[in-house]
Amino acid sequence: MLHSKYKWQPQAYDANASQQFAEVLSISPLLASLLITRGICTVEEANMFIKGNMDDLHDPFLLHGMKEAVPRILHAIDSEEHILVYGDYDADGVSSTSLMIHLMRHMGASFDIYIPHRSNEGYGLHNHAMDWAHQQGVSLMITVDTGISAVEQVAYANSLGIDVIITDHHEPPEVLPNAYALINPKLSVCSYPYKGLAGVGVAYKLCQALLGNPPMEWTELVAIGTIADLMPLTGENRILVRTGLASMRKSTFQGIQALLEVSGIVKETVTSTNIAFGMAPRINASGRLDHAGRAVSLLTTEDSTEALGLAHELDSLNKQRQKVVEDILQEALAQLALKIQNAGLPSVIVLAGKGWNVGVVGIVASKILERYYRPVLILGIDEETGICKGSARSIPGLDMYAALTSCKHLMDHYGGHPAAAGMSLHIEQLSEFECALNQYAKSILIPEDLIPVVVADGEWKVSDLPISVIEEIELLQPFGMDNPIPRFIIRDIELRESRTMGRDHNHLRLTMQQENSRLEAVAFGQGDLAELLTTGIPLDVIGELSINEWNGSRKLQLMLHDLAVSEPQVYDLRGVKEPDVEMNRFLQLMGPRLRGQSTQIGVLSEENTLRDVRNHLKELSLWVYDKNGGMTSANTVAEQDGKEDITTLFVLDAPQSPRQLDEMMTAYKSLRNIVLLHAMDVREKLQVPDRELFKKLYILLSRIGSKPVSERDVLSQISRQSSTSVRMLSKMMDVFEELSFIERSNGSITLVPKPPKKDLDDSLHFRELGNLAEMEQNLFYTNTMQLTNWMITLLKGAS
């Protein structure tokens, strides 16, 4: 049995509403159900989701502050004032800044841009930047994707005679800046219908307000920033991104063309996924390892040669970024391992290191969150100043912005969203900060919050998912936040074949069958799972469905996210050289799929074997075979918790008797996984006894005569004559003795001349020999499939 790695959460939907959608919109019931699970309640909303276009965007003047901002900007341009566009260094900020550059050029404005350096300056507005702007003669500053928390900095700009228009989408603080205009759909005073705009989306609304109908290609920048900043692809975002993607497929932007080429993306088929995993990381790499201005130059250049050169520079920076991330990740994991060893896994993981590049700590936080499923903060420490700058990533159960707000007195600056945030503080505050965050988290989080959840679009049979329906799902594009690629749960599908693929065998390919429908699945990076799956077992799987085209053939294919095995499993690792090493490797491989406590994992062996491995297995429940045919506890864990809750049993030595085997299969009442690691060096092979074999032995014995002879010599002689092991012959002698065919005395045997007539079945030794021989035949000589079937039968019979 293998638990799923994640908790699967099928989305509920109204079957009647689904049928109505299907009929009115002329779509399949499956697609109708997908619309409903995305919160679409009416046919009108469904039409908007599928067919919405730029004409359906809201009036930009519904945004609070827009009526004040537009005339001020127009006046500045007419009066030839010098304008500063102040942006942020992430992909949303880069896209927003680039969009404003195109706007300023389009309107013939006099302007400069300023983006702070992530490592040297950090997030947000800075007074020294205000001083620089003042020296440049700036009288109007427009922020994009930043500024909503810059109370002091805006006040300072005002004192220098600079009017500030803030466009932002981050969570507003309690005290707002005294700006000339504040444009943020999340302001409590803002009645704008859609609250999910990215920073670049808010900037685009400003463009709309100023121009009416901005050039359609500008939506390409909106698409990049919206997807990269993980904004919901619903409402206006969906319309803007879909329009941007359509424009990008025939883009005239030299920078976007070059970035697509370097990222290996075919321009004509670009998708939101391509942007998220191909373009966005390269744009972000500029701000993480260098300065975001390089990415802005790429997105605003009109020179194809310059664009290609800049795109290659960003690609190189991204490769450097990957190396830096891996180095910091390993240091962070080592630091976390010590914390876990000393005090267990914390509710909020806070890790800080000297020299850690603050431009990539958010990526490191995401990787550690994925591994431990806890909110994570990673901070880089500046040794000279003692300032810690970091990024946080959170799980749905903990609003990170609220968590930071609860201890804001310990930070110099912070901002962000419920799922991600940034902060800076002095190293002297770090310990108290970590403690405060964990105290807050403990008051909020419940155990269910700490189990990762995968949302699924219902449970289906393979027969419900023909290729025509999967093709129809493309109407839901573009996919992203709040509109994920549909995931389907398919239960009770038989595994026909599992194998690894790829140069390093680190990917998995499965072939499965459900009734008359066959389904292939691939799982990247999960090649190790092949060791945990047995052909013929029923699987529950969850993943994304696509159509695999190869040599003119089109087949349904599942991109596997997770799986579960509800049936008991037997793992054949017989004959490994170092059973304790292999056991630890296997435990690591199973990982969270075992669920439960380490005390639910048992180890069974002979006393001598356990003596060699005991120190490596302290947390597990240890058991040894006893002389009476049962099992005895061998450590405190086993004594305290007993056998009944053990779900996984590692067998280091095979049972010596059918009684021990029966005890093993019945005493561990919750047993669902058996891992066999016993040696294969059987003393001497036993045969399943039959009457012909005993008849043959009796004939050979009769040739010896009726005088006492050495049993040892006789058995050795007969073994050579009959190709039967001495051990087998000795046990057959036990049967003869019980039936009074022979007499034993002081190592000698004597054939009884006229023995009583008795049937072999009357002998207890005969029956025990048969059971023992069958047990050893299965434990030592059968192949994996035969062994598995036999043990599963025993296990099911025991339960």
Residues in contact with 6: Cβ distance below 8 Å, sequence separation at least 6, in sequence order: 451, 452, 453, 454, 561, 562
Q: Are 141 and 270 found together in one domain?
A: yes
Question: How, if at all, do strands 709-710 and 488-501 pair?
Answer: unpaired
What number is the average pLDDT over the span 792-798? 82
Give kind and range of the element (H or E) at residue 743.
strand 742-745
So what's the pLDDT on residue 409?
94
Q: Are 474 and 356 found together in one domain?
A: no
Q: Are 446 and 459 found together in one domain?
A: no
Q: Are 351 and 408 found together in one domain?
A: yes
Domain CATH for 587: 3.40.50
- Joined together, the tokens standing for residue 190 give 């803002």
**331 belongs to a structural domain:** no
Smallest CA-to-CA distance from 53 within 242, 246, 247 is with: 242
**393 belongs to a structural domain:** yes
Q: Are 610 and 706 found together in one domain?
A: no
Q: What is the largest CA-CA distance in the chain?
A: 131
Residues in contact with 79: Cβ distance below 8 Å, sequence separation at least 6, in sequence order: none
Q: Is the CB of residue 197 less than 8 Å from the CB of residue 167?
A: no
**340 belongs to a structural domain:** no
So what's the pLDDT on residue 344?
86
pLDDT at 799 over 60: no
Residue type, 691: R
pLDDT tens-digit map of 17-63: 888 888 888 888 889 989 988 888 888 888 899 999 999 999 999 99
Q: Is the CB of residue 361 less than 8 Å from the CB of residue 327?
A: no
Q: Is the CB of residue 601 less than 8 Å from the CB of residue 621?
A: yes
CA 366, 368, 373, 375 dihedral sign is negative
Q: Are 129 and 149 found together in one domain?
A: yes
CA distance 513 to 539: 10
Provide the number of structural domains found in the chain. Answer: 5
CA distance 521 to 493: 12
**444 belongs to a structural domain:** yes
Q: Which of 435, 451, 467 is the last residue of a domain?
A: 451
Three-state secondary structure along 488-546? EEEEEEEEEEEEEECCCCCEEEEEEEECCEEEEEEECCCHHHHHHCCCCCEEEEEEEEE
Name residue 642's beta-bridge partners.
none
Q: Are 589 and 703 found together in one domain?
A: no
Taking residue 354's Cβ as centre, other Cβ atoms within 10 Å add up to 11
Taking residue 147's Cβ as centre, other Cβ atoms within 10 Å add up to 29
pLDDT tens-digit map of 506-524: 899 999 999 999 999 999 9
**215 belongs to a structural domain:** yes
Cis link prior to 753 (omega < 30° from 0)? no
Pick the residue with more confidence: 340 or 312?
312
Domain CATH for 746: 1.10.10
Smallest CA-to-CA distance from 270 within 486, 478, 545 is with: 478
CA distance 459 to 796: 28
CA distance 183 to 188: 11
Question: What is the span of the domain harbouring residue 303?
Answer: 57-317
**466 belongs to a structural domain:** yes
pLDDT at 350 over 60: yes
Give kind and range of the element (H or E) at residue 187.
none
**657 belongs to a structural domain:** yes
Q: Is the CB of residue 765 less than 8 Å from the CB of residue 724?
A: no
Q: Is the CB of residue 489 less than 8 Å from the CB of residue 456?
A: yes
Q: Are 292 and 403 found together in one domain?
A: no
pLDDT at 315 over 60: yes
So what's the pLDDT on residue 112?
97
What is the chain's percent helix, strand, coil content, to nearest 5?
Answer: 50, 20, 35
Q: Are 368 and 501 found together in one domain?
A: no
Query: What's the DSSP call for residue 692?
Result: H
pLDDT tens-digit map of 206-224: 999 999 999 999 999 999 9
CA distance 76 to 401: 36
Domain CATH for 421: 3.10.310.30
pLDDT tens-digit map of 427-442: 999 999 999 999 999 9
Taking residue 530's Cβ as centre, other Cβ atoms within 10 Å add up to 17
What number is the average pLDDT over the span 451-457? 89
- Joined together, the tokens standing for residue 58 give 């809201």
Q: Are 129 and 237 found together in one domain?
A: yes
CA 299, 305, 308, 310 dihedral sign is negative
Phi then psi for residue 402, to 5 deg, are -65, -40
What number is the average pLDDT over the span 494-507? 90
CA distance 259 to 721: 81
Give kind and range of the element (H or E) at residue 350.
strand 349-354
Question: Model's pTM, two decimal places?
Answer: 0.78
Q: Is the CB of residue 95 less than 8 Å from the CB of residue 200?
A: yes
Taking residue 51's Cβ as centre, other Cβ atoms within 10 Å add up to 10
Q: Which of 430, 451, 472 is the last residue of a domain?
A: 451
Distance of CA 513 to CAs 472, 516, 581, Å? 24, 7, 35
Smallest CA-to-CA distance from 298 within 245, 249, 266, 257 is with: 257
Domain CATH for 521: 2.40.50.460
> Helix, strand or coil for residue 554?
strand
**325 belongs to a structural domain:** no
Q: Are 708 and 726 found together in one domain?
A: yes
| pLDDT band for position 798 (cuts 50, 70, 90) | low
So what's the pLDDT on residue 592?
73
Three-state secondary structure along 621-654? EEEEECCCCCEEECCHHHHHHCCCCCCEEEECCC
**pLDDT winner (highest mean) among 91-100, 704-713, 763-772:** 91-100
CA distance 28 to 72: 51
Q: Which of 393, 426, 451 is the last residue of a domain?
A: 451
Q: Are 577 and 551 found together in one domain?
A: no
CA distance 717 to 712: 9
pLDDT tens-digit map of 681-724: 766 888 888 888 888 888 888 887 778 889 898 889 888 887 88
pLDDT tens-digit map of 615-669: 777 688 999 998 888 889 989 888 888 888 899 999 999 998 899 999 899 889 8
Read out DSSP for 764-789? Answer: HHHHHHHHHHHHHIIIIIS-HHHHHH
Smallest CA-to-CA distance from 675 within 583, 563, 786 is with: 583
So what's the pLDDT on residue 343?
85
Residue owning tokens 């190790």: 528
Distance of CA 407 to CAs 393, 430, 433, Å? 17, 11, 7
